Amino acid sequence: MLGPRKCAILAASTVVGLLGCTDGNLQDRYASAVERYQAGPAVRSEAPYYDPARALGAPDGKTVALAEESVLVVRFFREIPDAPGSDLRLFEVGSDSSSVRVSVSADGRTFVPLTTPGLSGGATELDLDGTGLPFVSFVSLEGLDNFGTDPGFDLDAVEALH
């Protein structure tokens, strides 16, 4: 009974898989989906920086404000390995001394904190070394302050370096 239906689903997912190949391979260099988003109380829901999709894709100057109590989890549709040196790069716009706590996960459920916080004013490189995870696909960012005109850490993009 399930046979034909399963085949149809497999065929459909193969098509999606082919179309999604650009997302799953080399071009999936930047976070491509919002897994979870909670805006802190300092973030106004009508403001442009409320939109977490602004953290997806390559850096474009459009940011989501990760204010105090904001949590954003972005996803890569591939495994980012812990290779020698830095493995992730955060792009932040502005220089208001904001910071963000970063955690990573392979499965989207168990997150391991990184010792290096994301810091405002450009790019912060992060190393998976020490997390015990051979690879990750999820990056969680928690806002720690409300500094700046757009409150908190102004996240533009998350890049995988390998």
Alpha helices in the chain (DSSP H): 2-19, 21-24
Q: Does 156 bind Ca ion (CB under 5 A)?
A: yes
User: Taking a C-beta distance cutoff of 8 angstroms, is the pair 142, 70 a contact?
Assistant: yes
Q: Which is nearer to Ca ion, 11 or 125 (CB)?
A: 125
Using the rule CB under 5 A, is 129 a contact of Ca ion? yes
The stretch near Ca ion (CB under 5 A) out of 45-53, 85-93, 99-107, 135-143 is 85-93
- Inter-residue contact 50 to 160 (CB < 8 Å): no
Binding-site member from 35, 69, 125, 127 for Ca ion (CB under 5 A): 127
Among 28, 68, 82, 150, binds Ca ion (CB under 5 A): 82
By CB under 5 A, tell whether 29 contacts Ca ion. no
Using CB under 5 A as the binding criterion, the count of chain residues that bind Ca ion stands at 9
Q: Which of 152, 138, 117, 154 is nearest to 36 (CA)?
A: 138
Q: For 14, how many CA atoms within 13 A lie in the half-sphere containing its CB? A: 6
Cα separation, 5 vs 49, in Å, equals 43
Neighbours of 128 (CB within 10 A): 21
The answer to the question of residue 79 lying near Ca ion (CB under 5 A) is no
- Region binding Ca ion by CB under 5 A among candidate stretches 6-14, 28-36, 57-65, 70-78: 57-65
Specify the pairing of strand 135-143 against strand 33-38: unpaired
**DSSP code of residue 103:** E
Quick one: which segment of 4-12, 19-27, 79-87, 140-148 binds Ca ion (CB under 5 A)?
A: 79-87
Q: Which is nearer to Ca ion, 23 or 129 (CB)?
A: 129
Does 54 bind Ca ion (CB under 5 A)? Our answer is: yes
Is 60 among the residues that bind Ca ion (CB under 5 A)?
yes
- The residues that touch Ca ion, with contacts defined as CB under 5 A, are 54, 60, 62, 82, 87, 127-129, 156
